[in-house]
Chains A and B, each alone.
Chain A
């Protein structure tokens, strides 16, 4: 019963919330689609928090994504013990980097009086969720060892079963509690993306890489104005 709720209901609710919520927030609350940066109020400690946290979490995110998308390749890689150890130790290193960064960020925010002015309840929620997620992750990595192997063979099928709308929770139901907490909190985080500062990772500015440096916007085509005999309906600019 609870398993059905946590491993079928919650994931679908989270994915729905992510999809609907993000689209709504992007188009209707465009002003709020960013993380509220507090570097302006405190910069030095942010360096020791934000950098290790972000690089750690980005590596872990792509690690999980690769294990989900290409389980065969991961298992193949893990077939040589040395490679397995290298992978696991690296991942654990990044996890500790993320944990260290997160702890720095948390103590920075609560210590610094100025930051209280820009701290919301949702920020506290974000800290609790991330802390849960990273600590259970490290717990799993240590006590339920060689996660990269069993993730690819046990959790990838479960996740895939969710995406093909044929959920199979046999494997996750018998997982240790630490793994189950890790999964549940992951889905809570995913579902809360549109309602928290997590939204900023959806708008990473990839377009910057390809655009030209200078950006000029013409509100209208002046050449057309001079021959205004042929008037056509234009496209109303978004900020107008």
Chain B
């Protein structure tokens, strides 16, 4: 057993209001630079939709992630042979137009225009060529199902839905959508790390954050192909790949990452999970229908004395173990079984989990009114507006049973709380569902509290980074007193 700690996350999709505050917080801090304008390390997509970059989930196009290859797995579109062979031209790399061409407006023109008969306007100009352009796409062009014919209908996840199901999904009165905020998953089996020919991408042992060393990156661009979530981006100006770094300078100093801190809907949770690194290969190469179950099994119970002992032996700090015990992520993912990984079939073992959206699937319109009578609550899960198979394609590698169990648990909590606060439901109506998902009242209350009323410190349980001890191992801290900062200080200019 090789126990390591991993900073993991939970996004509660029922709470996401699609306001993009997270994206803006991230952009303002990290990607508001030349060459990075098009990057959204954090982006929010409307589902069903094609997402950003367009159709990123379709690995027939982008060849990202891992595929089962006999008893083990191999990278789909990169790796030692394919990577070195395709070095001079990578056939599976998304280009600018798959994302969008970033633009700004000529605001100066409003002030400096010659006097004339017409009002001056601020024309859109490309941030790459500097020439006037007509914006035709953006990172959230299909927000709230805008242009559904173009976008939502091309969603990869509805590929194996029957024609009737697809038709039903897009009938105006049945239409339903939810948001899918995405950042880097900081995977346990990262495809970007495996695909990097220069060895510039690495996983930090202490907290599992995946980073790109900007000095070692040589612009071979294989990570962009390999990441099935398309969360590694190529900076066309500096010739380096960049990705979400989970705001590690903030995390190291005990602050929540900017996207999570600013989240208006408070959908985001962050905490430590302990896992067994020896099991990674076996889990990543197991059969597809076992993937979710085996993936969740890799995380260990931080309250188990055996685990604590092994973690200590492996050098995990006591403060980290305590954080793991308090981790909201552990509760959602392991104790309650409410959160699932996004697209586990890519086999990267992502560490970002989603509580699947219950609400958009529920209330449906019948005879012009919302059908919300209590009889149909329980039954409605199966005949939900959003086909169960669609959600299963997103969160459980097509396993409908898994997603159904989670939705039933979410529903049971709601029925229980309805009973507690309003008390207008017959006893059988509540105890039946609670019994079916094996949930007691205390658990339901705990879920309710952490979902609806959590304090800041309950949502983000960040372990101490112990940088002070790390630094003392390397040098006498007195020598560098007065020096601050991290990384190298060289303007990111090219010209060579």
A interface with B by C-beta (< 8 Å): 25, 29-43, 46-47, 50-51, 53-55, 113-114, 116-118, 120, 122, 195-197, 199-200, 203, 205, 207-209, 211, 213-226, 228, 231-240
Contact = CB atoms under 8 A, between A and B. Distances in A.
Interface of B: 75, 79-80, 83-84, 88-91, 93, 95-96, 128-131, 189-190, 193-194, 196-199, 201-206, 213-221, 234, 236-240, 280, 312, 314-317, 466, 469-470, 472-475, 486-488, 490, 492, 494-496
Contacts of B199: 205, 207-208, 211, 215
A36 B84 contact: no
Contacts of B487: 239-240
Contacts of B486: 240
A55 B86 CA distance: 11
Given A41-B236, A196-B496, 10 more contacts: A32-B494, A35-B219, A39-B89, A117-B129, A200-B218, A214-B194, A214-B280, A220-B474, A236-B474, A239-B213
B331 to A, nearest CB: 26
7 contacts: A31-B490, A40-B93, A40-B236, A41-B128, A41-B236, A208-B198, A225-B473
Contacts of B84: 205, 208-209
A199 B218 CA distance: 11
A216 B129 contact: no
A224 to B, nearest CB: 7
Contacts of A116: 129
Given A196-B496, A221-B473, A236-B474, A31 B214 contact: yes
A51 B88 contact: yes
A159 B79 CA distance: 39
A205 B198 contact: yes
Contacts of A211: 199
B475 A236 contact: yes
Contacts of A31: 214-215, 238, 240, 488, 490, 492
B378 to A, nearest CB: 44
A114 B220 CA distance: 20
B201 A197 contact: no
A207 to B, nearest CB: 6
A38 B236 contact: yes
Nearest to A205: B197
A222 B88 contact: no
A101 B382 CA distance: 58
Contacts of B95: 39-43
Contact of B193 (A25, A29, A122, A215): A215
A205 B220 contact: yes
Which 4 A-B residue pairings sit nearest by Cβ, starting from the closest?
A222-B315, A205-B197, A218-B205, A213-B194
Given A39-B95, A113-B129, A114-B129, A233 B474 contact: yes
Contacts of A196: 496
Contact of A122 (B215, B488, B495): B495
A222 B492 CA distance: 33
What is the predominant secondary structure among interface residues of chain A facing chain B?
loop
Contacts of B488: 31, 239
A215 B201 contact: yes
B215 A30 contact: yes
A222 B317 contact: yes
B96 A114 contact: yes
Nearest to B467: A219
Contacts of B205: 216-219
Given A41-B236, A46-B89, A117-B128, A213 B213 contact: no
Contact of B496 (A30, A53, A197): A197
B473 A208 contact: no
A14 B485 CA distance: 39
Contacts of A223: 314-315
Contacts of A231: 472-473
Given A50-B88, A122-B495, A215-B202, A239 B215 contact: yes
A135 B217 CA distance: 33
A213 B78 CA distance: 11
A120 B494 CA distance: 9
A42 B189 CA distance: 31
Nearest to A226: B315
Contacts of A218: 204-206
Contacts of B217: 34
Residue of A211, A213, A239 with highest tally of chain B CB at under 10 A: A213
B405 to A, nearest CB: 32
A35 B239 contact: yes
Nearest to B312: A226
A232 B473 CA distance: 7
Contact of B234 (A32, A40, A50, A53): A40
B237 A118 contact: yes
Given A114-B96, A219-B470, A224-B473, A122 B88 contact: no
Contacts of B203: 214-217
A50 B198 contact: no
Contact of A208 (B80, B204, B219, B236): B80
Contacts of B240: 31, 34
A36 B217 CA distance: 11
